[in-house]
Amino acid sequence: MAEDRLLVAFGDELFSYDFGPYHPLNRSRTELFVRRLMELKERAPEKIELVEPAMATEDELTLFHTREYVEFVKLACSPGSKVRYLDYGDTPAYPNCFTRASVVVGTTLKLLREIASGRARRAFNPVGGLHHARRGAAGGFCIFNDAAIAIEYALKVLGYRAVAYVDIDAHHGDGVYYDFEENPRVVFFDIHQDGRTLYPGTGHEYERGKGEALGRKMNAPLPPYSGDEEFLRALEKGMRFLEQFEFDIVLFQAGADGLAGDPLTNLMYTRRAHESAAKALLELAERKCNGRILAFGGGGYNPVNVGEAWSAVVEVLAGI
Ligand SMILES: [Zn+2]
């Protein structure tokens, strides 16, 4: 079936979301993935469709972010600006960063709209999943939180009743967790390196949502040096948790920085972690929400790992 192919966002404007050669989030981290993607596309051309990036409007950005913050980023990124960092030292400001960050968001929303229209059921934005940006602040290399904007878009514009957000990036998805902590329509599950040993320092087991949303969030912190075995145990627990709820789409942040050898974290996964998570979530989406799943590349600062982990996700979601 035509709707069974995977849409993959691909284009120069998208991959140019980076902070230069001396910053961990630089373009070269994605080069091996791009090569793997081209090989997969050659092997199974009918199963992967490349989609051009798109630019978000300011109204789309403010579905999640405050108007003041959007204005601040625009000014900080304009020529002559004296702002060097958008946060406390992780996320540099540079000319064009407003546009580049807006392209990540616009591309995520374009894929979401493709899914909502029924033209496809599965999509992947390799540069998306910028899960540390808060409503009013940048954080951890993330300027605009495309995943959080996709959640607001799904709930407010598409009228979805609920979404499931699943995050296996080595870092806790704090920008999604805290800004939806009290929202029962966002079911949340996050496996990450224990916050006592890694940025952003959050995502403890006792953080299970608040108010009406209490019990609809699950955080699964793993100690440093955890590998596939620990990951798969946490994943299994998470899948039992997710099974209790109903939702209209699965959002999957598949950060590659948990694989052994990442320069910023201390986890020891292999590509099997990403393969297993993608398989489990695809099956979950088939049962719960007609197979609708939107995946994001997230973090990952070792190019070999990024190639391995993201191509595992693409292979599973494209059925290759
Ligand atoms: Zn990360």
Ligand 1 centroid to Cα of residue 37, in Å, is 21
Ligand 1 centroid to Cα of residue 129, in Å, is 9
Least confident of 86-90, 198-202, 229-233, 236-240: 86-90
Q: What confidence score (pLDDT) does residue 2 get?
A: 64
Q: In this model, does residue 217 exceed pLDDT 80?
A: yes
Q: In this model, does residue 1 exceed pLDDT 70?
A: no
CATH number for 259: 3.40.800.20
Number of folded domains that form the chain = 1
pLDDT digit string (tens) for 288-298?
999 999 999 99
Sheet holding 48-51, edge to edge: 48-51, 6-9, 122-125, 293-296, 250-253, 163-167, 186-193, 217-222
Evaluated on CA atoms 279, 280, 286, 290, the torsion sign reads negative
Ligand 1 centroid to Cα of residue 232, in Å, is 18
Among residues 23, 65, 131, 132, the one annotated as catalytic is: 132
pLDDT digit string (tens) for 121-142?
999 999 999 999 999 999 999 9
Residue with tokens 């469709």: 49
C-alpha to C-alpha distance for 132 and 253, rounded to whole angstroms: 12
Residue with tokens 């496996």: 191
User: Does the annotation count 132 as an active-site position?
Assistant: yes
Ligand 1 centroid to Cα of residue 118, in Å, is 31
Strand partners, 125: 296
Least confident of 20-34, 63-77, 100-114, 181-195: 20-34
Ligand 1 centroid to Cα of residue 259, in Å, is 11
Q: Mean pLDDT of all residues in the chain? A: 96
C-alpha to C-alpha distance for 69 and 310, rounded to whole angstroms: 31
Q: What confidence score (pLDDT) does residue 90 get?
A: 84
Calculate ∠ Cα 199-285-129, nearest 5°: 30
Ligand 1 centroid to Cα of residue 229, in Å, is 20
Q: In this model, does residue 157 exceed pLDDT 80?
A: yes
Q: What confidence score (pLDDT) does residue 82 get?
A: 85
Ligand 1 centroid to Cα of residue 256, in Å, is 7
Evaluated on CA atoms 133, 138, 142, 143, the torsion sign reads positive
C-alpha to C-alpha distance for 235 and 237, rounded to whole angstroms: 5
Ligand 1 centroid to Cα of residue 301, in Å, is 9
Ligand 1 centroid to Cα of residue 171, in Å, is 4
Dmax of the chain from CA atoms?
Answer: 53
What is the extent of the structural domain holding 54?
A: 2-318
Residue with tokens 């995502």: 203
**Banded model confidence at residue 94, pLDDT cuts 50, 70, 90:** confident
